[in-house]
Amino acid sequence: MAPKILARNDKLRLLKQMLQIRAFEDKVFELLARDLLKGASHAYVGEEAIAVGACAAIGLEDYITSTHRGHGHCLARGADLKLMMAELCGKATGYCRGRGGSMHIADVKAGNLGATGIVGSNIPVATGAGLALQMKKKKSVCLCFFGDGAANTGAFHESLNLAGLWKLPVVYICENNLYGMSVSVERALAVKNVADRASAYNMPGKIVDGMKVLEVYEAVSEAVERARRGEGPTLLECKAYRFRGHSRGDSRKYRTREEEEHWRARDPIEQFKKHLLEEGALTEEEFSALEKEVGEETSAAERFALQESPDPSPDDLYDDVYVDYEQGNTRLRRKS
Amino acid sequence: MPEIFYWEAIRDALREEMLRDERVFVMGEDVAIYGGAYGATRGLYEEFGEERVKDTPISEAAIIGAAAGAAMCGLRPVAEIMYIDFITLGMDQLVNIVAKNRYMFGGKTTVPMVIRTQGGAGRGIAAHHSQSLETWFVHLPGVLIATPATPYDAKGLLKTAIRDDNPVLFIEHKMLYRTTGEVPEGDYALPLGQAKVTRPGSDVTVVSYSRMANRSLEAAEVVAAEGIDAEVIDLRSLRPLDIESVLESVKKTGHLVLVSEGYKNANALCEVAFRVNEFGFDYLDGPMLRVCAADVPVPMSPVLEEAAVPSVESIAGGIRQALAD
Ligand SMILES: Cc1ncc(C[n+]2csc(CCOP(=O)(O)OP(=O)(O)O)c2C)c(N)n1
Ligand SMILES: [Mg+2]
Tens digit of each residue's pLDDT (9 = 90 or more) over B131-155: 999 999 999 999 999 999 999 999 9
Domain residue spans of chain B? 3-182, 196-324
Looking at chain B, which residue has its C-alpha nearest residue A254?
B33
Q: Is B60 a catalytic residue?
A: yes
How far is residue A161's CA from residue A159's CA, in Å, rounded to a whole number? 5
> Would you say A3 and A218 are in contact if contact means Cβ atoms under 8 Å apart?
yes
* Nearest C-alpha neighbor of B179 from the set B217, B132, B221, B230: B217
Q: Is B255 a catalytic residue?
A: no
* Nearest C-alpha neighbor of B178 from the set B311, B10, B2: B10
What is the overall mean pLDDT for chain B? 98
Looking at chain B, which residue has its C-alpha nearest residue A91?
B301
Q: Is B134 close to ligand 1, i.e. is its CB under 6 Å away?
A: no
Looking at chain B, which residue has its C-alpha nearest residue A90?
B301
Ligand 1 atom with minimal separation from the A181 CA = 11
- Residue A290's pLDDT is 98
Ligand 2 centroid from CA A158, angstroms: 20
A36 in a structural domain: yes
A3: pLDDT confidence band, cut at 50, 70 and 90? low
Best residue for ligand 1 mutational test, from B38, B56, B60, B82 (most atoms within 8 Å of Cβ): B82
Rounded average pLDDT over A230-255: 96
Rounded average pLDDT over A92-118: 97
**Closest CA of chain B from A131, distance in Å:** 23
How far is residue A126's CA from residue A103's CA, in Å, rounded to a whole number? 17
The percent of residues above 70 in pLDDT, for chain A, comes to: 99
- Residue A40's pLDDT is 85
Domain B3-182 has CATH 3.40.50.970: yes
Write the residue in B30, B37, B304 that is nearest to A312 by C-beta: B304
3-class DSSP assignment, residue A4: coil
How far is residue B32's CA from residue B80's CA, in Å, rounded to a whole number? 11
> Would you say A102 and A66 are in contact if contact means Cβ atoms under 8 Å apart?
no
A53 in a structural domain: yes
A254 in a structural domain: yes
Contact assignment for B296 to A182 by CB distance below 8 Å = no
Rounded average pLDDT over B226-250: 98
Structural domain containing residue A56: 8-332
User: In CATH, what is the architecture of B196-324?
Assistant: 3-Layer(aba) Sandwich (3.40)
Note whether B3-182 and B196-324 share their fold.
yes
Please report which helix (H) or strand (E) contains residue B308, including its range.
Answer: helix B302-308
> Which residue did the predictor score with more confidence, A4 or A165?
A165
Task: State how many domains chain A has.
Answer: 1
Chain A neighbors of B294, CB-CB under 8 A:
317-318
Tens digit of each residue's pLDDT (9 = 90 or more) over B160-199: 999 999 999 999 999 999 999 999 999 999 999 999 999 9
**What is the complex's ipTM, to 2 decimals?**
0.96
3-class DSSP assignment, residue B271: helix
* Nearest C-alpha neighbor of B13 from the set B112, B116, B165: B116
B325: pLDDT confidence band, cut at 50, 70 and 90? low
Please report which helix (H) or strand (E) contains residue B259, including its range.
Answer: strand B256-263
Ligand nearest to the CA of A115: 1
A281 in a structural domain: yes
Rounded average pLDDT over A261-273: 98
A1 in a structural domain: no
CA separation, residue A323 to residues A41, A326, A327, B55, B301 (Å):
30, 8, 11, 42, 21
> Could you write out the DSSP letters of every residue in A60-129?
TT-EEE--SS-HHHHHHTT--HHHHHHHHTT-TTSTTTTSS-GGG---GGGTB----SSTTTTHHHHHHH
Best residue for ligand 1 mutational test, from A66, A68, A123, A254 (most atoms within 8 Å of Cβ): A68
Tens digit of each residue's pLDDT (9 = 90 or more) over A189-236: 999 999 999 999 999 999 999 999 999 999 999 999 999 999 999 999
A256's CB contacts (< 8 A; 6+ apart) are none
A2 in a structural domain: no
Tens digit of each residue's pLDDT (9 = 90 or more) over A47-88: 999 999 999 999 999 999 999 999 999 999 999 999 999 999
Strand partners, B4: B181
Q: What is the pTM of this model?
A: 0.98
Tens digit of each residue's pLDDT (9 = 90 or more) over B45-89: 999 999 999 999 999 999 999 999 999 999 999 999 999 999 999
Flag whether pLDDT at A117 surpasses 90: yes
Ligand 2 centroid from CA A44, angstroms: 11
DSSP state of B94: I
Catalytic-labelled residue, pool B129, B172, B173, B261: B129
Residue A77 sits at φ, ψ, to 5 deg, of -90, 5
CA B172 to chain centre: 5
> Which residue did the predictor score with more confidence, A40 or B249?
B249
A153 in a structural domain: yes
CATH code of A168's domain: 3.40.50.970
Chain A neighbors of B131, CB-CB under 8 A:
none
Mutate which: A35, A67, A104, vs B, most B CBs within 10 A: A104
- Residue A1's pLDDT is 46
